[in-house]
Amino acid sequence: MRNLKFLVVLMVVLALSVFAVKISIFHVNDTHGHAWTFSEYHNPDIGGFAVIASIIDEERAKNPNVLFLHAGDINTGVPESDLLNALPDIFALNRMKLDAMAVGNHEFDKPRDVLKYQMSIAKFPFLSANIYKDGKPFFTPYIIKNVGGVKVAIFGLTTEETSILEPLYSQDLEFRNAIEVAKELVPMLREKADVVIALTHLGMGQEYEGNYTTSEELAQNVDGIDVIIDGHSHTKLEEAKVINNTIIVQAWEWGKIVGKLDLDVENGKIKEWNWTPIPVNLKVYKGKDENGNAIYEYVGKPYEPAMYVKVPLDYFAKLGSKKLDTVIGETKVLLDGERAHVRSGDTNLGHLITDAMLWKTGADIAFQNGGGIRASIEPGKITIRDILTVLPFGNTVYVMKMKGSDIMKVLEYAANIPEGKGAFLHVAGLTFESKNGKVTKVMVNGKPLEMDKVYKVVTNNYMAGGGDGYSMLKEAKATGYDTGFVLADVVVEYIQKGLGGKIDSYDDTPRYIRINE
């Protein structure tokens, strides 16, 4: 009997001494208005918050210790969302019990009152510890949640590049160095919490190295961060990264996958972990059957949408859909706006957009940043929805006067933009060549650029405000004016009236020839 009592006491002591909790963290990033299921070439009916809700609910039914996090850029990309200032997205995320969202650079695409409206309707905090106004944090820097008895600190960081990418509506804010802010914050959070998570919109990889902190650099330079859940670079990971004992994950883009990070926490420390990128109804095209119907195979397990999310989203989709589906023309060719293409070279869609700007304003030269072109237009009928998907930012057309010498500064800056960056320049009325970053030839309407001549230049108000680093355009801004014409409307009008609603082909002859040796 004594041995039995001793055994019981020993088991109780052991049970009390080992406090183990499994925490599952689901995360998305860079959803850009893709609250609804959507289709891509040979990949129909993928993504959507309603399907993601089903995936998360499946885990919640087994384990109450679930966190759901968004690593930023909820705005800009799908017309139904853009027209309603991301109300559908936030409404759905509220229903999905999102715990927190990092502030992304695209949260500054619209005026400040839109951002304040979004924050007021969200039942989750917008987190960023490195954005300051008048010497104080502008957003909530961090939260601490009790998850199954484990204290989890979650702090936000936003890319310092926001001041360059989104200058129009962030000029009054200070974007402090993410590493320096984290070095001050993390030690304090370690005293308050068992697990420290950085929910970041920083980006990872070579493309984002330089003057702006990447998530890898954050992990390397700041001790004490257990997990970095990242966004911004739209990175598709097959497995998590580990740097300086910090787990780094990112979930691609648009809700095509949802990341699931399982943490086994014992006595306040992570003992085991596993990360899985869960495909959100992604498919593989397998060809056609004997009747010519496409055959698809799911990547992983298929999921049904959660109706408590799908029904309200369906309602939001109907608002304004009649206008969005208005046909404004037809194209027989693909108008190429693929992200990788418009950020590294000329495309026919880039030409069409800049040509539309010249057509509307009578300017000599047009400038458009590749990052402002967000999608392609497939052959067939062209709708207002298509144009707003290509140009979702609501930019207006800005006209100014510039001397040839100042135009040369624009081209010299563009010639040194790495391929893959949104600042890659598209032009009309002008052609130019560069070699190893040095501009070697410039022609304006078939004639050499004259340094002392004053030219009429048209661009979008984002670039006119110095966006993507085009400070020389901001310097010339005072010589011109904002026309008030929305660029998307100008493109619609150009297709309807300038091109007669029919596009059989469109010029794709390079207007910028870049030679790197």
Residues 164-174: what's their mean pLDDT? 89
Query: Which pLDDT band, with edges at 50, 70 and 90, does 207 fall under?
Result: low
pLDDT for residue 99 = 98
Grade residue 18 by pLDDT with cuts at 50, 70 and 90: low
435: β partners: 438, 515
Q: Please tell me if the domain spanning 15-318 has the same topology as the one spanning 326-515.
A: no
Q: In degrees rounded to 5, what are phi and psi of residue 373?
A: -105, 115
**Spatial contact of 132 and 173, defined as CB atoms under 8 Å apart:** yes
Return mean pLDDT, the chain: 93
pLDDT digits (tens, 9 = 90+) for 356-412: 999 999 999 999 999 999 999 999 999 999 999 999 988 889 999 999 999 999 999
Residue with tokens 């969202």: 101
- Write the pLDDT tens digit of every residue in 228-245: 999 998 999 999 999 999
Residue range 174-198: average pLDDT? 98
pLDDT at 70 over 50: yes
pLDDT at residue 486 in the model: 85
Give the Cα separation of 119 and 491 in Å (integer). Answer: 32
Residue with more model confidence, 483 or 222: 222
Segment 290-328, tens digit of pLDDT = 998 999 999 999 999 999 999 999 999 988 787 788 999
- Residue 3 pLDDT greater than 70, yes or no: no
Q: What are the residues facing 433 on neighbouring strands?
A: 441, 513
Per-range mean pLDDT, top range of 15-24, 148-157, 471-480, 483-492:
148-157
126 burial level (CB within 10 Å; 0-12, 13-18, 19+): buried
Full-model pTM: 0.81
Handedness of CA 105, 107, 113, 114 (dihedral sign): positive
Work out the widest C-alpha separation in the chain, in whole angstroms.
104
Which candidate, 495, 457, 461, places its Cα nearest to that of 479?
457
Do residues 421 and 343 lie in contact, with contact meaning Cβ atoms separated by under 8 Å? yes
Count of CB atoms situated within 10 Å of the CB of 455? 20
DSSP string, 88-125: HHHHHHHHTT--EEEPPGGGGSS-HHHHHHHHHH-SS-
pLDDT score of 15: 46
The domain defined by 326-515 folds into: 5'-nucleotidase;  domain 2 (3.90.780)
- For residue 68, the SS3 value is strand
**Cα–Cα distance for residue pair 71/25, rounded to 1 Å:** 12
Tokens of residue 345, six digits:
């070279």
pLDDT confidence bin for 208, thresholds 50/70/90: low
Strand, helix or coil for residue 396: strand
* Long-range contacts, 307-311 (Cβ 8 Å, 24+): 307/50, 308/53, 308/95, 309/49, 309/50, 309/53, 309/92, 309/95, 309/96, 310/48, 310/50
The residues spanned by each domain of the chain are 15-318, 326-515
Contact 230, 252 (CB under 8 A): no
| Mean pLDDT of the 424-432 span | 98
Does residue 394 or residue 224 have the better pLDDT?
A: 224
pLDDT tens column, 249-258: 999 999 999 9
The whole-angstrom separation of Cα 156 and Cα 103 is: 7
What b-and-e string marks burial along 166-194, b requiring 16 or more CB atoms within 10 Å of the CB?
bbbbbeebebbebbebbeebbeebbeebb
> Does residue 152 carry a pLDDT above 80?
yes
Answer yes or no: are the C-beta atoms of 501 and 495 closer than 8 Å: yes
Mean pLDDT confidence for 7-16 = 46
CA distance 144 to 135: 23
pLDDT score, position 19: 74
Q: Flag whether pLDDT at 209 surpasses 70.
A: no
Give DSSP secondary structure letters for 258-313. Answer: EEEEEEEEETTEEEEEEEEEEESS-EEEEEE-TTS-EEEEESS---PPPHHHHHHH
Is the pLDDT at 4 greater than 60? The verdict is no
Domain 15-318 superfamily per CATH: Metallo-dependent phosphatases (3.60.21.10)
Phi, psi of 276 (to 5 degrees): -130, 125
**Per-residue pLDDT, 41:** 81
Which runs of consecutive H residues, i.e. helices, occur in 122-266? 162-165, 178-192, 215-221
The tens digit of pLDDT for each residue in 118-135 reads 999 999 999 999 999 999
Characterise 205 by phi-psi region: left (phi > 0), alpha (psi -120 to 50), beta (else). Answer: left
Q: Alpha-carbon distance 263 to 240, whole Å?
A: 13
> One-letter amino acid identity for 35?
A
